[in-house]
């Protein structure tokens, strides 16, 4: 089957992709990447692949999980991740975000409060406020990532971030806090956070999409909201789960003729079994690919022409575990021209 | 079901709803068993229940499952089927329909108003419905405003809340407000008594059970000690602010002005507590009522299926009625046939030799034919891997409920009522 991650097949998906879209990216040269997208499109898959690729190239990399699902641990085949980063592959460290630990670290480092013992009820009370007060939880989360960047603990921080519905609120939180909170430590913190977040050379958002109707619509909406409501740069759109193209030029007509009854009979006789359903399956595959290509064209047309798009193949065999993560990393490397 | 709304459905009903048998049955399981016994008598099998029968005997059907599996589409398809075949007044309350689907239902703009799907839309699909189909979309912001209007003790408080700078931000985020609103709207519409059947779509939650817990959390939120502290008169807080480390820390982190803003907002909000607490209790009772049933929609991919299994367990643990599991976007069964594996392998392995045969290449360029055969064989083997994995997944999911319905992966997108009905037909009987 034809590879789908090459520039050639990617371009076959949309009518006329602008040249800029195929230029290799500086993606991994940034310091902080937020990988987001609609639920289930492959945020964890892409984030784990990007981080593994960066680490394989020798970058000291931190990859962070934002939800409690544990999928990131599965991607590297390690047991449950914790707030304290752990080396899961050479040069690759993984952690799980949790706002209570983030708060504790923050209090210890920023306020020099040796509160660790009393932090239980404090955290519960704080949790309540943080849930009710806009932006507080978000700042604690994003703040941790940005802080790792500022302290130069890692060359690259990759965040397996929250889904489309929540990412804008998170990325916009420092500004929101800046407006809502007039004094206090939080406010003092937000200005350096904003400096790093707003710098395209350092920070970028990677939106993961898949070639389906709803994910495409949601990605377009998300791209617009990132542009309008946050100061963070949209670095790339990764289209995951791209089905392979079966036939090259002229071959589809050959396939159609091959389906004539007398030729199906002849072929079945020659292989010693009914090829009818096998040909049906190929037709299904062609249809699915074509439907997907239509949605991709919509996506490409709706995004800024200069925005980079990367294409990752649909993995037919089980798409979980370290082996799959390596395959995704390789596909990303190919797309990035590295 | 009461005779309110349109008539016409009673003939299709089996009488379970109001009958003594149902009254005896304390929870969904008893109803299940009673029906099973009766169904076995008439149909000779213990899997006699269908979505058709399920929908004929319920007033509220909640479509749930993980994102993208087809909750919204299936809710609309089933509502359309119910309006067509069961009659009565049927409402589909959708959350996030694709543009196409919204158009198919005549939902041109967002808003809480219920609109009737024009009979012409049915006619275009060659169908004469026995009842009427209505559709509404969920507008979270507007629903929140309505809630505030309803529960605020007086006009001044109401306006103070609605114009509060924190209101929008907060109403949009705390205690899964989106989920709560969906359930709240459902309650509102159901108690209006306008519809015979309401099919409800659910929001794409991070955790599928969030919306089940939302009413309870909303109640807890309003009766929590912390909220009371936060909204206590500023004066009585002064002492504690300086004495307790939390207040000191909160103060230094957020600043007292911000804390003050929050406190002010919540003291306004607090005035609505009695209404909210009572209401969330009522919403919860409605969900556990035997007139309500849940459909778990899933594809056969690993992640959604895992979530579906989890959801089924949660429904059970909460005493909620699992009506059916609907497997959507399922690949054709021929892909699983093991006797096709050697055929596909042969196409890959012997492509060149096969293509050389004139009765096979039929005048086409043999090289090209060989490449096509190779691709066809490889593609089949790829899809077979997926289909086999899905079939294992299916065996696991199919163990759970009485009704398991399967809808195929549709090659053409649903863009009109006829398309919805075609999808509905697949799972109806
Ligand atoms: N390229 C691919 N080919 C085939 N399957 C894939 C591919 N990418 C992801 N998957 C599968 O899709 C499912 C969802 O992927 P993943 O967990 O990465 O998504 P996510 O966006 O992180 O989901 P969530 O919103 O639940 O966090 C997983 O089962 C994964 O194995
Ligand atoms: N049986 C099916 N075959 C093909 N596509 C489907 C099927 N059911 C739903 N879809 C498509 O899948 C996408 C997601 O469906 P939707 O109903 O919005 O899911 P959810 O509400 O669960 O997020 C839509 O584009 C819809 O048209
Ligand atoms: Mg994930
Ligand atoms: Mg939906």
State the ipTM, two decimals. Answer: 0.86
- A299 pLDDT more than 70: yes
Q: Are B417 and B117 in contact (CB under 8 A)?
A: yes
DSSP state letter for A39: T
- Write the burial class of residue A169 (CB in 10 Å: 0-12 exposed, 13-18 middle, 19+ buried): buried
pLDDT recorded at residue A16: 41
CA–CA distance, B63 with B324 (Å, rounded to integer): 10
Q: How many Å is the Cα radius of gyration of chain A?
A: 23
Residues of B within 8 A of A273 (CB-CB) are 339-340, 342-343, 346
Helix ranges restricted to H, chain A: 7-13, 43-56, 71-75, 99-110, 119-132, 136-150, 164-180, 185-197, 213-229, 251-258, 261-271, 276-302, 322-336
> Closest residue (by CA) to atom 28 of ligand 1?
B303
Angstrom distance (rounded) from CA A93 to CA A64: 9
A160 vs A43: CA distance, rounded Å: 6
Q: Which residue has the tokens 């709706």?
A: A302
Indicate the SS3 state at residue A65. Answer: strand
Question: Cβ(A204)–Cβ(A235) under 8 Å?
Answer: yes
Instruction: Using CA coordinates, name the residue in chain B closest to A290.
Output: B411
- Find the closest chain A residue to B204 by CA distance: A39
Residue nearest to atom 9 of ligand 2 (CA): B70
User: Considering only CA atoms, which residue is closest to atom 15 of ligand 1?
Assistant: A42
Alpha-carbon span A247 to B422, nearest angstrom: 31
CB contact under 8 Å between B375 and A258, yes or no, is: no
**Among all chains, which residue has been given the structure tokens 């041109």?**
B108
Please give chain B's pLDDT, 429 residues, in tens.
333 333 334 333 333 333 333 333 333 333 333 333 333 333 333 333 899 999 999 999 999 998 889 999 999 999 999 999 999 999 999 887 877 888 888 777 656 788 999 888 899 888 999 999 999 988 777 888 888 888 888 999 899 888 876 776 666 555 456 777 788 888 889 999 999 999 998 877 656 567 777 777 777 777 766 666 666 655 455 444 444 555 666 666 666 667 777 777 777 877 877 877 788 788 889 989 999 999 999 999 988 999 899 889 889 998 899 999 999 999 999 999 999 999 999 999 999 999 999 999 999 999 999 999 999 999 999 999 999 999 999 988 877 777 889 999 988 778 889 999 999 999 998
For ligand 2, is residue B407 a contact (CB within 6 Å)? Answer: yes
User: What was the pLDDT predicted at A4?
Assistant: 42
Residue B98 CB–ligand 2 contact under 6 Å: yes
Output the furthest CA–CA distance in chain A (Å, rounded): 83
Average per-residue pLDDT for chain A? 86
Centre a 10 Å sphere on the Cβ of residue B371 and count the other Cβ atoms it contains.
19
Ligand 2 lined by B202 (C-beta under 6 Å): no
In chain A, residues with a C-beta closer than 8 Å to the C-beta of B365 are 254
Treating both helix axes as pointing N-terminal to C-terminal, what angle do A185-197 and A136-150 enclose, rounded to 10 degrees?
60
CA A42–ligand 1 middle distance (angstroms): 4
Question: If you ran DSSP here, which 8-state letter would residue A124 be given?
Answer: H
CA distance A78 to chain B (A): 19
Question: Which residues on chain B are in Cβ contact (under 8 Å) with A132?
Answer: 170, 174, 262, 266
Higher-scoring residue by pLDDT: B403, A244: A244
Which residue in A has a C-alpha nearest to residue B205's C-alpha? A39
Tell whether ligand 2 has an atom less than 6 A from the beta carbon of residue B414: yes
A287 contacts B359? CB cut-off 8 A: no
Determine phi and psi for A85, rounding to 5 degrees: -60, 150
Distance A129 CA to ligand 3 centre (A): 27
**Ligand 3 center–CA A43 separation, angstroms:** 5
Ranges of each domain in chain B:
8-223+286-331+409-428, 225-270, 339-389
Residue having the nearest C-alpha atom to atom 11 of ligand 2: B70
Ligand 2 atom nearest residue B328's Cα: 1
- In the three-class reduction of DSSP (H, G, I as helix; E, B as strand; rest coil), residue A84 is classed as coil
Residue A216 is predicted with a pLDDT of 96
- Alpha-carbon A238 to chain mean position: 7
Q: What is the CATH number of domain B8-223+286-331+409-428?
A: 3.40.50.300
Contacts of A113 in chain B (CB under 8 A): 249
| Residues in Cβ contact with B233 at an 8 Å cutoff, skipping those fewer than 6 apart | none
Interface test with B, best of A103, A161, A267, A291 (most B CBs within 10 A): A267
Tens-place pLDDT, residues A55-101: 999 999 999 999 878 899 999 999 989 999 999 999 999 999 988 78
CB half-sphere exposure, B94, CA atoms < 13 A: 30
Asked whether the beta carbons of A90 and A61 are under 8 A apart, the reply is no
- Do the beta carbons of residue A291 and residue A216 sit within 8 Å? no
Picking from A184, A246, A257, the nearest residue to B258 by CB comes out as A184
Q: In 10 A of CB B298, how many CB atoms? A: 28
Residue A250 domain-assigned (yes or no) = no
Residue closest via CA to ligand 2's atom 16 equals B70
Asked if the structure places residue A143 within a domain, the reply is: yes
Set of chain A residues whose Cβ sits within 8 Å of the Cβ of B342: 273
pLDDT at B44 (0 to 100): 33
The boundaries of the domain holding residue A232 are 7-245+296-336
Chain A environment of B68 (Cβ under 8 Å): 38-40, 212, 214-215
* Burial track B17-35 (b if 16+ CB lie within 10 A, e otherwise): beeebbeebeebeebbebb
Mutate to test the pocket of ligand 1, among A43, A45, A206, A331 (most ligand atoms within 8 A of CB): A45
Closest to B190 measured CA to CA, from B295, B91, B116: B91
Ligand 2 in reach of B160 Cβ (< 6 A): no
Ligand 3 centre distance from Cα of residue A38 (Å): 10
Considering the domain boundaries, does residue A103 fall inside one? yes
SS (HEC) of chain B: CCCCCCCCCHHHCCCCCCCHHHHHCCCHHHHHHHHHHHHHHHHCCCCCCCHHHHHHCCCEEEEECCCCCCHHHHHHHHHHHHHHHHCCEEEEEECCCCHHHHHHCCCCCCCCCCEECCHHHHHHCCCCCCCEEEEEECCHHHHHHHHHHHHCCCHHHHHHHHCCHHHHHHHCCHHHHHHHHHHHHHHHHHHHCCCCEEEEECCCCCCCCHHHHHHHHHHHHHHCHHHHHHHCCHHHHHHHHHHCHHHHHHHHHHCHHHHHHHHHHHHHHHCCHHHHHHHHHHHHHHHHCCCEEEEEEECCCHHHHHHHHHHHHHHHHCCCCEEEEEEEEECCHHHHCHHHHHHHHHHHHCHHHHHHCHHHHCCCCHHHHHHHHHHHHHHHHHHHHHHHHHHHHHHHHHCCCCCEEEEECCCCCCCCHHHHHHHHHHHHC
Residue to substitute in A35, A39, A42 for testing ligand 1 pocket (most ligand atoms within 8 angstroms of CB): A42
* CA dist A96 → A76, A108, A159 (Å): 13, 19, 10
The winner for highest mean pLDDT among A52-56, A123-127, B207-211 is A52-56
Query: Burial level of A192, CB count in 10 A (0-12/13-18/19+)?
Result: middle
Q: Which residues of A touch B232 (CB under 8 A)?
A: none
Which residues in chain B have Cβ-Cβ distances shorter than 8 Å to A257? 362, 364
Nearest C-alpha neighbor of B259 from the set A273, A44, A181, A14: A181
B68 Cβ below 6 A of ligand 2: yes
Q: Is residue A135 part of a domain?
A: yes
- CB count in 10 Å sphere of residue B330: 18
- Closest approach atom of ligand 2 to CA B65: 22
Within a domain: A261: no
Instruction: Give A183's contacts in chain B (Cβ within 8 Å).
Output: 255, 257
The long-range contacts involving B35-39, CB below 8 angstroms and separated by at least 24 positions, are: B36/B402, B38/B14
The two beta strands, A32-37 and A86-89, are unpaired
- Which of these ranges, A50-54, A208-212, A312-316, B256-260, has the smallest mean pLDDT? B256-260
What's the rounded Cα separation, in Å, for the pair B408 and A5?
A: 29
Looking at the CA of residue B303, tell me the nearest atom of ligand 1. 29
Cα A162 to ligand 3 centre (Å): 8
Report the residue of chain B nearest A3, measured CA to CA. Answer: B375
Q: How far is the CA of B75 from the centre of ligand 4 (A)?
A: 9
pTM of the predicted structure, to 2 decimals: 0.85
Q: Give me the residue from B246, B254, B350 closest to A125, CB to CB.
A: B246
Q: Residue A59 belongs to a domain with what CATH number?
A: 3.40.50.300
Q: How many CA atoms lie within 13 A of B96 on its CB side?
A: 19
Instruction: Please state the atom number of ligand 2 nearest to the C-alpha of residue B426.
Output: 1
* CA-to-CA dists, residue B422 to A100, A249, B99, B131, B143, angstroms: 50, 35, 19, 18, 33
Task: Count chain A–chain B contacts defined by CB atoms under 8 A.
Answer: 202
Atom of ligand 1 nearest to the CA of A160: 22
**Distance in Å, CA B91 to ligand 4 centroid:** 16
Instruction: Tell me if A284 and B224 make a contact (CB, 8 A cut-off).
Output: no
Best residue among B73, B138, B182, B211 to mutate for probing ligand 2, ranked by most atoms within 8 Å of CB: B73
Q: How far is CA A46 from CA A51, A226, A235, B20, in A?
A: 8, 19, 14, 56
CA A21 to centroid of ligand 1, rounded, Å: 24
Residue A113 is classified by DSSP as: -
pLDDT at residue A108 in the model: 74
- Among B63, B65, B70, B182, say which to mutate for ligand 2: greatest number of ligand atoms within 8 Å of CB: B70
Cβ B6 under 6 angstroms from ligand 2 = no
User: Please, is B155 exposed, middle or buried when counting C-beta atoms within 10 Å of its C-beta (0-12, 13-18, 19+)?
Assistant: exposed
What is the sign, positive or negative, of the torsion defined by CA atoms of B38, B42, B46, B48?
A: negative
Tokens of residue A304, six digits: 């800024």
The dihedral formed by the CA atoms of A243, A249, A252 and A257, expressed in degrees to the nearest 10:
-160
Residue B308 structure tokens: 């579906």
Domain count of the fold of chain A: 1
Contact between residue B206 and residue A40 where contact means Cβ atoms under 8 Å apart: no
Distance B151 CA to ligand 4 centre (A): 29
pLDDT of A11 strictly over 70: no
Structural tokens at position B422: 């075609």
> In this predicted model, which residue has the larger pLDDT, A146 or A102?
A146
What's the pLDDT score for residue B414?
Answer: 85
């Amino acid at each position: 089957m034809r590879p789908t991650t090459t520039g050639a097949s990617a371009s076959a998906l949309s009518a006329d992709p602008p040249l800029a879209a195929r230029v290799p990216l500086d993606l991994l040269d940034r310091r902080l990447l937020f990988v987001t997208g609609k639920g289930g499109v492959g945020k964890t898959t892409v984030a784990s692949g990007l981080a593994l690729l960066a680490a394989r190239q020798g970058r000291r990399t931190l990859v962070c999980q934002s939800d409690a699902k544990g999928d990131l641990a599965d991607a590297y085949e390690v047991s449950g991740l914790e707030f304290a980063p752990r080396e899961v592959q050479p040069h690759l460290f993984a952690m799980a975000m949790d706002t209570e630990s983030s708060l504790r670290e923050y209090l210890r480092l920023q306020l020099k409060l040796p509160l660790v013992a009393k932090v239980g009820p404090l955290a519960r009370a704080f949790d309540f406020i943080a849930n009710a007060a806009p932006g507080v939880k978000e700042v604690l989360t994003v703040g941790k990532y940005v802080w790792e960047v500022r302290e130069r603990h890692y060359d690259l921080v990759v965040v397996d971030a929250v889904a489309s519905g929540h990412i804008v609120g998170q990325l916009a939180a420092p500004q929101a806090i800046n407006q809502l909170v007039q004094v206090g430590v939080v406010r003092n913190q937000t200005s350096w956070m904003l400096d790093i977040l707003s710098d395209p050379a350092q920070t970028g958002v990677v939106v993961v999409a898949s070639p389906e109707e709803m994910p495409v619509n949601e990605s377009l909406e998300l791209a617009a909201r990132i542009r309008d409501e946050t100061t963070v740069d949209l670095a790339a759109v990764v289209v995951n789960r791209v089905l392979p193209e079966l036939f090259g030029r002229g071959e589809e007509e050959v396939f159609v003729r091959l389906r004539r009854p007398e030729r199906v009979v002849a072929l079945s006789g020659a292989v010693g079994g009914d090829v009818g359903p096998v040909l049906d399956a190929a037709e299904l595959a062609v249809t699915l690919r074509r439907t997907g290509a239509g949605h991709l064209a919509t996506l490409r047309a709706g995004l800024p022409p200069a925005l980079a798009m990367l294409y990752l193949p649909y993995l037919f065999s089980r798409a979980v575990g370290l082996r799959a993560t390596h395959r995704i990393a390789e596909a990303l490397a190919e797309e990035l021209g590295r | 079901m009461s005779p309110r709304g349109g008539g016409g459905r009673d003939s299709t009903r089996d009488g379970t709803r109001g009958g003594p048998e149902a009254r005896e049955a304390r929870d969904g399981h008893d109803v299940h068993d009673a029906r099973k016994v009766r169904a076995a008598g008439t149909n000779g099998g213990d899997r006699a229940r269908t979505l058709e029968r399920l929908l004929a005997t319920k007033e509220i059907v909640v479509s749930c499952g993980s994102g993208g599996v087809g909750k919204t589409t299936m809710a609309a398809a089933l509502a359309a089927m119910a309006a067509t075949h069961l009659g009565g007044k049927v409402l589909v309350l959708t959350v996030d329909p694709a543009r196409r689907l919204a158009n198919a239902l005549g939902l041109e703009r967002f808003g809480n108003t219920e609109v009737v799907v024009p009979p012409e839309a049915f006619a275009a699909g060659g169908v004469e419905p026995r009842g009427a189909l209505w559709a509404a979309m969920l507008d979270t912001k507007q629903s929140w405003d309505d809630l505030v209007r309803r529960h605020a003790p007086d006009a001044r408080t109401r306006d103070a809340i609605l114009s509060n700078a924190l209101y929008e931000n907060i109403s949009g985020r705390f205690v899964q407000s989106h989920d709560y609103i969906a359930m709240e709207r459902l309650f509102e519409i159901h108690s209006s008594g306008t519809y015979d059947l309401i099919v409800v779509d659910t929001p794409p939650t991070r955790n599928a059970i969030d919306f089940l817990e939302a009413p309870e959390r909303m109640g807890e939120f309003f009766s929590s000690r912390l909220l009371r502290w936060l909204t206590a008169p500023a004066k009585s807080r002064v002492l504690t602010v300086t004495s307790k480390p939390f207040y000191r820390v909160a103060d230094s982190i957020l600043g007292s002005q911000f804390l003050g803003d929050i406190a002010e907002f919540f003291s306004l909000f607090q005035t609505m507590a009695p209404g909210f607490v009572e209401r969330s209790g009522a919403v919860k009772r409605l969900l556990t009522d035997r007139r309500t049933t849940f459909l778990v929609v899933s594809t056969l991919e690993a992640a959604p299926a895992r979530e579906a299994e989890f959801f089924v367990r949660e429904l059970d643990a909460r005493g909620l009625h699992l009506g059916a599991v609907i497997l959507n976007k399922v690949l054709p069964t021929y892909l699983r046939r093991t006797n096709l594996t050697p055929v596909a392998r042969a196409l890959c392995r012997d492509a060149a030799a096969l293509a050389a045969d004139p009765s096979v290449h039929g005048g086409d360029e043999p090289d090209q034919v060989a490449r096509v055969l190779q691709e066809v064989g490889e593609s089949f083997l790829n899809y077979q891997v997926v289909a086999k994995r899905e079939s294992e997944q299916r065996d696991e999911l199919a163990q759970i409920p009485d009704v398991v319905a399967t809808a195929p992966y549709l090659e053409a997108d649903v863009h009109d009522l006829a398309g919805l009905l075609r999808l509905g037909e697949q799972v109806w009987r």
